[in-house]
Amino acid sequence: METDKKQPMVQFKGILKRFGNVVAVEKMDFDIEEGTLVTLLGPSGCGKTTLLRMVAGLEEPTEGDIFIKGVRINDTPIHKRNLGMIFQNYALFPHKTIFENVAFGLKYRDVSKEEIKKKVTRALEMVRLPGVEGRMPSQLSGGQQQRIAMARAIVIEPDVLLMDEPLSALDENLREEMRREVDNLQQMLGVTTIFVTHDQREALSMSDKILVMKDGQKQQEGHPEAVYNEPINHFVADFLGHSNFIRGEVVDVDNHHVNVRIETGDILIAENKGGFSQSDPVEMIVRAQRFDAFPKDEFKPVEGMNHFQGRIKDRSYMGGEVSYFIELSADREIHVISLMRTRIYDIGEEVSVQVSPHHCHLIPME
Tens digit of each residue's pLDDT (9 = 90 or more) over 184-238 = 899 999 999 999 999 999 999 999 999 999 999 999 999 999 999 999 999 999 9
pLDDT band, very low/low/confident/very high, at 342 (cuts 50, 70, 90): low
Q: What is the pLDDT of residue 361?
A: 95
269 DSSP β-pair partners = 259
Give 303: exposed, middle or buried? Use CB within 10 Å, 0-12, 13-18, 19+: exposed
HSE-up of residue 173 (Cα within 13 Å, Cβ side): 0
Give the pLDDT confidence of 32-75 residue by residue, as tens digits: 999 999 999 999 999 999 999 999 999 999 999 999 999 999 99
CB 350 within 8 A of CB 311: yes
Question: Which residue, 97, 92, 95, 93, is CA-closest to 133?
Answer: 97
pTM (2 decimals)?
A: 0.90
Residue 354 pLDDT greater than 70, yes or no? yes
Q: What is the pLDDT of residue 16?
A: 97
**Residues 6 or more apart in contact with residue 133 via CB below 8 angstroms:** 97, 98, 99, 102, 120, 121, 124
Q: Give the span between the Cα atoms of 185 and 191, in whole angstroms.
A: 9
Q: What is the mean pLDDT of residues 358-363?
A: 95
Q: Decide whether 10-237 matches 242-364 in CATH topology.
A: no
pLDDT band, very low/low/confident/very high, at 3 (cuts 50, 70, 90): very low
Question: Which residue, 138, 147, 210, is CA-closest to 179?
Answer: 147
pLDDT band, very low/low/confident/very high, at 5 (cuts 50, 70, 90): low
Taking only Cα atoms into account, the Rg of the chain, rounded to an integer number of angstroms, comes to 25
CB atoms within 10 A of CB 329: 13
Pairing of strands 160-164, 192-197: parallel
Q: What is the mean pLDDT of residues 13-28?
A: 95
Q: What is the mean pLDDT of residues 314-329?
A: 89
Q: Give the span between the Cα atoms of 140 and 253, in whole angstroms.
A: 61
Residue 2 pLDDT greater than 50, yes or no? no
Q: What is the pLDDT of residue 114?
A: 94
More confident residue, 265 or 70: 70
Q: Residue 21 carries which DSSP code?
A: T
CATH number assigned to the domain covering 10-237 = 3.40.50.300
Q: Give the span between the Cα atoms of 6 and 64, in whole angstroms.
A: 22
CB 9 within 8 A of CB 68: yes
Residue 143 pLDDT greater than 90, yes or no? no
In the chain, what are the domain boundaries?
10-237, 242-364
Q: What is the pLDDT of residue 108?
A: 78
Residue 246 pLDDT greater than 60, yes or no? yes
Q: In 141-163, which positions are buried (b, 16+ CB within 10 angstroms) versus exposed (e)?
A: eebbbbbbbbbbbbbbebbbbbb
Q: What is the pLDDT of residue 176?
A: 85
More confident residue, 297 or 235: 235
CATH number assigned to the domain covering 242-364 = 2.40.50.140
Q: Give the span between the Cα atoms of 41 and 61, in whole angstroms.
A: 20
CB 282 within 8 A of CB 249: yes
Give the pLDDT confidence of 81-97 residue by residue, as tens digits: 999 999 877 789 999 99
Mean pLDDT of the chain: 91
